[in-house]
Amino acid sequence: MSASDSPGAVRAARPSRRQFVADLLGASGLVRPFSRLRHALARDLVILAYHRVLDVADEDAFDFDLELVSASRAQFRAQMTLLRERYHPVRFADLAAALAGGPALPPRAVIVSFDDGYDDNHRFAFPILRELGVPAMFFVSTGHVDSGLPYAYDWLVHLLLCTRAARLEIAELGVDLELPASRTARRAIAADVLDRMKAVPASVQSAIVERLGVEWGMPRAQGHPDCRPLSWPQLREMHAGGMEVGSHGMWHNMLARLAPADMQAEVAGSRRAIADALGASCEVISYPVGGVDAYDAAVIAAARDAGFELGCSYVSGTNHLPPREPFALRRLPIERHMDAAWFAALVGMPEAFSYTSRRRIG
For the cut 80, the answer to whether the pLDDT of residue 204 exceeds it is: yes
Instruction: Confirm if 153 and 361 have CB atoms less than 8 A apart.
Output: yes
Confidence of residue 27 (pLDDT cuts 50, 70, 90): confident
For the cut 80, the answer to whether the pLDDT of residue 336 exceeds it is: yes
9-23, 220-234, 267-281, 308-322: least confidently modelled range: 9-23
Residue 4: what pLDDT?
30
CA distances from 88 to 82, 92, 133, 134, 232 (A): 10, 13, 11, 9, 29
Q: In one letter, which amino acid is 117?
A: G
CB 216: neighbour CB atoms within 10 A? Answer: 15
Residue 6: what pLDDT?
33
Residue 357: what pLDDT?
58
For domain 36-149+224-353, say whether CATH 3.20.20.370 is its number.
Answer: yes
Tell me, letter by letter, the H, E, C secondary structure of 296-314. Answer: CHHHHHHHHHHCCCEEEEE
pLDDT in tens, 35-54: 788 788 788 999 999 999 99
For the cut 90, the answer to whether the pLDDT of residue 255 exceeds it is: yes
8-12, 92-96, 289-293: least confidently modelled range: 8-12
Q: For residues 189 and 33, which has the higher predicted lDDT (pLDDT)?
A: 189
Q: Compute the distance between CA of residue 303 and CA of residue 346 in angstroms, rounded to an integer.
A: 30
Give the pLDDT mean for 11-31. Answer: 71
The H or E element that residue 46 is part of is strand 44-50
Chain-centroid distance of CA 202 in Å reads 19
For the cut 50, the answer to whether the pLDDT of residue 288 exceeds it is: yes
Sign of the Cα pseudo-torsion (324, 325, 329, 332, in order): negative
273 contact partners, CB below 8 Å, separation of at least 6: 142, 145, 146, 250
For the cut 50, the answer to whether the pLDDT of residue 10 exceeds it is: no
3-state secondary structure of 99: helix
For the cut 70, the answer to whether the pLDDT of residue 359 exceeds it is: no
Residue 354: what pLDDT?
83
| Domain locations in the chain as residue ranges | 36-149+224-353, 152-222
Q: For residues 170 and 354, which has the higher predicted lDDT (pLDDT)?
A: 170
Does pTM surpass 0.85? yes
